[in-house]
Structure 1
């Protein structure tokens, strides 16, 4: 009987299969480079990037970006933090490293 893939790994790969979700995650890898610091509500390196800034850079509707970020969060690739009425997203580097390691063991 074949081994069943780790469901968390499958969920992460499904989230990354969308080119825009992958691009959003890539931008979050280096937020200071991709998002103007002077427009930040909170420190992008510590707290993350506001959905409104992600939406502006992506050129998509706020609801679409929120949906994409929620999918990345469910996959364990990002963490959300509320600052006032704004939601900020930051990569979960530890979880990403675990998923990459699991992918290496799986393939």
Structure 2
């Protein structure tokens, strides 16, 4: 007879918030775009470096075609999950991926369910 050990909430808790954040296709798409911001968003090096500072939320909003409030909510979810970091530049908020946290998440998923990913699972292309 095989006994299956049920994970405790404490074992899963660190993974729940990022996985819930990634369950939304738009949030997942935004995270993919932020992997290569120069390819997906207007870049003005005189204003900010999209890799160091991030992409302005207005550019993210324009690319998604969603309401500003929806995009702000989506980005807040990604930030609470520590998948993106925000930086204020004047009155604008810029977002960039938190590569350390994403690498941690991939490592934890591989440890927990096996190596099922080829490359970066948060890059859809």
Bin for the TM-score computed over the shorter chain:
over 0.9
Please state if 1:48 is matched with 2:93.
no
Further displaced range: 36-45 or 71-80: 36-45
TM-score, normalised relative to structure 2? 0.81
Q: In the alignment, does 2:95 pair up with 1:89?
A: yes
Uncovered stretches (5+) of structure 1, i.e. residues with no partner: none
Structure 1 residues 46, 92: closer, same or farther in 2, change over 3 A? same
Q: After the TM superposition, which parts of structure 1 deviate over 2 Å for at least 4 consecutive aligned residues?
A: 38-41
Q: Does 1:2 align with 2:27?
A: no
Deviations 1:84-104 (A, max 9, x none): 000000000011000110011
TM-score when normalising by structure 1? 0.94
Matched pairs, number: 107
The range that moved more, 72-81 or 5-14, is 5-14
C-alpha distance in 2 between matches for 1:29 and 1:61: 22
